[in-house]
Chain A
Amino acid sequence: MKPATTIITSTYNKYNYFVDAAQTVLAQTRSDWQWWVILNSPVEKLEIVVQGYASIDPRITVFYHPCTEEERRKFYQPAIIINKYYPRVDTPYLVWLSDDDLWEATFLEDLVGELEADPSKDIVYGSCDLVYWPLVNAKEWIYRTTLKADKKIGAGTKLDPPLFVDGGQVVQTKRSYDALKGWQLPTDWKSGSHLDGIYTSMLGNQFVFHPVNKKVCTKRYSAWATFGHPKILLRVT
């Protein structure tokens, strides 16, 4: 089966979170996907588990994106990875999955299905719960809020997309990415904290974000930063 959607994940040092994300991908009700997992100078356990999942499921491909600590200090790696790997996508749809996010089993069915049902649409987004881990020795994730997908945004609107959309709850056509005509995400750390906003704003200038008012994923905010900014000292070990 030719894949319809390319899922892209960059991961660095959160193997136990990655495992949960992987389980939600493997549980998707739609099976026509391919998953590119980009190892960003991973710790050993992460490499083992990612390669293991690739061994279990041939739809998963592992890429190595090594960087030095110096490069990590200077550049926000997810931005570099998006700039490098998005142009290579060879499927009609693409989606970014953060390594600590969790998809509902119908994530692809709901969002890709919406794009397929109406070819005039290029970008759809669903609702998303945010949860957080309050303390190092806490027992469970705490619900924080929901990012609701309940209105159209983008394409000239003055609404500020970052308030409503996170990069992980959007599925877009490859065509919409190509329409940016080689535009590159900034890779400096200052932009790192609101990279999703920069990207969705850029897309929003040309395309409408169509809401699918249904929870499609859960975003987990943890003390364990994926991309290990050297200034972030709080780290669960």
Chain B
Amino acid sequence: MSVTIVTATYNKPQFLFDAGLSVLNQSYENWSWWIVLNGSDHYTTAVAKGFARKDARVQVFNEPTDEGRRKKEYMPAVIINKYYPLVNTKYIFWLSDDDTLYQEGLKALVEALEKDPQKDIVYGDCQFVKLVNDQWKKGKWIRAKQEMGLGTGILPDKRIDGGQFLQTKRSWMIFTKEGLTITTDWRHANHIDGIYMNGLASLFTFYPIPVPVVLHRCTPLSTFVQVI
């Protein structure tokens, strides 16, 4: 395998379905997908394990989490810090459990890195969609709005999201060797992608490719709901 896709998920099974189907439908096939459950319910666990039964490239992990831990730590950050070091492929991709990959997305990103071994990070365009009214409660997705063309030639910290770039495992190792880590503090939860990318950008260049790679679904059902 060349790419490890890592997804942390917590109780959004309807969304995880679509994320998973988009992974299985990738035109690029040399990937493994790690789904990291963290205290998820039966339904979410069933969806994750169902994918693992359907495709041997899918592995399910469980990061034991209780409400106490969830109050203290931002679990996606915990999961990145714990699971990225275990990745044994050349490339790493973070897929949020409510996002979906375009069929050619992974292929475009991998080819961009393969073509130029000097590059360690590439990112593509993404689309945003929103839900209207209370449709999300019923798991019914409605495309209310979309924006295209984000990504290229713009300042990265304002324009890209953690879920749209592919990085080398090497870049993660250098990142941590420099003493950089991803904070698990809840105060930084809403801009954790930015913090991580700023850290990476102090060491590497983010190279754009003008290809849509991911569909970001903005939902009021936050994956990692903070309990206040």
Contact = CB atoms under 8 A, between A and B. Distances in A.
A14 to B, nearest CB: 13
A54 B42 CA distance: 11
B84 interface: no
A19 B17 contact: no
B53 A51 contact: yes
Given A23-B42, A56-B42, A48 B139 contact: no
A52 B21 contact: no
Nearest to B134: A139
A37 to B, nearest CB: 12
A56 B54 contact: no
Contacts of A49: 13, 17, 43, 46-47, 50
A19 B50 CA distance: 13
Nearest to B137: A139
Contacts of A19: 13, 43, 46
Contacts of A47: 50, 54
Nearest to B20: A48
A53 interface: yes
A50 B51 CA distance: 10
Interface string B117-155: 000000000000000000000010000000000000000
A55 interface: yes
B45 interface: yes
Contacts of B50: 47-53, 55
A29 interface: no
Contacts of B17: 45, 48-49
A41 to B, nearest CB: 16
A52 B14 contact: no
A81 interface: no
A49 B16 CA distance: 11
A34 B50 CA distance: 19
B36 interface: no
Contacts of A51: 49-50, 53-54
B26 to A, nearest CB: 15
Interface in A38-84: 44-45, 47-56
A19 B139 CA distance: 13
B139 A52 contact: no
A124 interface: no
Interface string A12-25: 00001001001100
Contacts of A223: none
A26 B43 CA distance: 11
A45 B54 CA distance: 11
B52 interface: yes
A26 B51 CA distance: 20
Contacts of B21: 44-45
A22 B47 CA distance: 13
A55 B54 contact: no
B48 interface: yes
Interface of B: 13-14, 17, 20-21, 42-43, 45-54, 139
20 contacts: A16-B14, A19-B43, A19-B46, A22-B42, A23-B42, A26-B42, A45-B17, A48-B51, A48-B54, A49-B43, A49-B46, A51-B49, A51-B50, A52-B45, A52-B51, A52-B53, A53-B42, A53-B50, A55-B46, A55-B53
